[in-house]
Amino acid sequence: MHHKDLFDYVYIVMLVLCFLIRAPLEFKNKRIRAVESRESTVGRLLLLLVFTGSTTMPVLYLFTPWFDFADYPLPAGLSYLGIVLAVLGLFLFWKSHRDLGRQFSPMLELKDSHVLVSEGIYRKIRHPMYTAIFAIAIAQLLLIGNFVVGPAFVLTFSLLYCSRIEQEEKMMLDHFGSAYAQYQARTNRLFPSLRR
């Protein structure tokens, strides 16, 4: 098996596992009424772009010749780093979904009887799901040797993150008040805080 084939298979496994982690929870939580939504048209468009960069384009890359013009050889060392990031990202993706449970929504919204989750992985990081997605997006860059498809996920997700994070934190502050302010004070957004 060539290195490229190995990394393509790793990418396919990563994609399937992300779907298996998220889809059941998303389906289950759709039945829980949203009490507040701040998702904008731009936010929905950015979610569609993220799906395109993370799923549609890589699938087309793997199964059609459409993006062959932008292929380049990946150094094996970088691709192995991609595998490490994929494993770390998948673990964080699973753990953050598990700990968030019924509060999870891909949209910028609060569910009925929404509670502030600050235990489990959320005890150390305020937005571990975003950390996980960044790790998986960078893994895609390191696993797919293509100038168009490789960076598509990290670029589109960076746009979504930058447009959403301040709105999300404001919504949480508006809803949970001082409890969220205290949570902000003792945690970082994407990486574990060294503060006690």
pLDDT at 76: 85
How many domains does one find in the chain?
Answer: 1
Nearest-angstrom CA–CA distance, 86 and 83: 5
In a domain, 37, yes or no: no
pLDDT at 30: 87
Q: Report the mean per-residue pLDDT for the chain.
A: 91
pLDDT tens digit string along 159-170?
999 999 999 999
In a domain, 35, yes or no: no
- Asked if pLDDT for residue 100 goes beyond 50, the answer is yes
Please check whether residue 129 is in contact with residue 97, taking contact to mean a CB–CB distance below 8 angstroms.
Answer: yes
CATH number at residue 91: 1.20.120.1630
pLDDT at 196: 59
pLDDT at 33: 87
Q: What is the percentage of the chain residues whose pLDDT exceeds 90?
A: 72
- Asked if pLDDT for residue 2 goes beyond 60, the answer is no
pLDDT tens digit string along 105-146?
888 998 888 899 999 999 999 999 999 999 999 999 999 999
Range of the domain at 49: 3-23+42-106+113-186
In a domain, 28, yes or no: no
3-class DSSP state of 136: helix
In a domain, 94, yes or no: yes
Please check whether residue 18 is in contact with residue 93, taking contact to mean a CB–CB distance below 8 angstroms.
Answer: yes
Please check whether residue 85 is in contact with residue 136, taking contact to mean a CB–CB distance below 8 angstroms.
Answer: yes
- Confidence at 9, pLDDT banded by 50, 70, 90: confident
pLDDT at 1: 39
pLDDT at 65: 94
pTM exceeds 0.85, yes or no? yes
In a domain, 194, yes or no: no
The stretch 29-47 carries a mean pLDDT of 90
In a domain, 66, yes or no: yes
pLDDT at 4: 63
Token pair of 42, please?
Answer: 């731009």
HSE-CB of 137 using CA atoms within 13 angstroms = 22
pLDDT at 10: 85
In a domain, 52, yes or no: yes
In a domain, 33, yes or no: no
3-class DSSP state of 1: coil
The stretch 14-26 carries a mean pLDDT of 92
